[in-house]
Chain A
Amino acid sequence: KAGVTQTPRYLIKTRGQQVTLSCSPISGHRSVSWYQQTPGQGLQFLFEYFSETQRNKGNFPGRFSGRQFSNSRSEMNVSTLELGDSALYLCASSLAPLGRVVGPQHFGDGTRLSIL
């Protein structure tokens, strides 16, 4: 069974640009969550999608947005990029929505985003 797949693995952008990251969850998983990982702040929750609906959102500005498609694949978009957005962006999928404990989230290997 294939794991969580994130594309691209690496991305370099400049300030002011926008970026879209993609995540394909494990087959059968309907919940997709996104996280930002930086050396200074660690792993921080961005948002969660389940059945194409955003269920939960972390404390990030509105420049960070996402969506989920009917096949459970998800995209995350960051607009007007800032230097501080440089991070590893991780996607995780699970069978059930967060809070309904039927199993853990499984992570992809992330997209490393560098802002110049």
Chain B
Amino acid sequence: GESVGLHLPTLSVQEGDNSIINCAYSNSASDYFIWYKQESGKGPQFIIDIRSNMDKRQGQRVTVLLNKTVKHLSLQIAATQPGDSAVYFCAEMNPGNKLTFGGGTRVLVKP
């Protein structure tokens, strides 16, 4: 299978602070990107998506930024809450019509 990394970086955030999760994607021709949140024992849950013709998209408490020049994607969570503790994955849709996932970032919210 396609390798997506062995280590899971962790972001520790104080409750109420803003979180920024970063993702470097691999294919400059990818045209659609998604952020997912996965809690323990559950499947990935859709958070927000963005197409390559945009550089920013906002949702409820979340913002996704896309920088195609450096193939970088970020997810900003405003006023982080304990319920935001989870593993976050970015995913890219490449020209082969496969969704490729990043290795994930664990977010721990401290009360």
The interface of chain A, by Cβ under 8 A from chain B, is: 4, 6, 33, 35-36, 40-45, 48, 55-56, 58-60, 90, 92, 97-99, 101, 104-110
Contacts and interface: CB of A to CB of B under 8 A. Distances in A.
Nearest to A46: B1
Contact of B89 (A43, A58, A106): A43
The secondary-structure label for the interface of chain B is loop
A104 B43 contact: no
Contacts, number: 74
Contacts of A41: 1, 3-4
B43 A107 contact: yes
A58 B97 CA distance: 11
A63 to B, nearest CB: 13
- Top 4 nearest A-B pairs by Cβ distance? A99-B97, A42-B4, A107-B43, A44-B1
Contacts of B104: 42
B44 A107 contact: yes
Contacts of A43: 4, 44, 89, 91, 101
Interface of B: 1-6, 31-32, 34, 36, 41-46, 49, 51, 89, 91, 93, 96-104
Contacts of A104: 34, 46, 49
Contacts of B41: 109
B4 A44 contact: yes
Contacts of A97: 97
Given A42-B4, A45-B1, A97-B97, 12 more contacts: A36-B1, A42-B5, A43-B89, A55-B97, A58-B2, A59-B1, A90-B43, A98-B97, A98-B99, A99-B97, A101-B32, A109-B41
A80 to B, nearest CB: 17
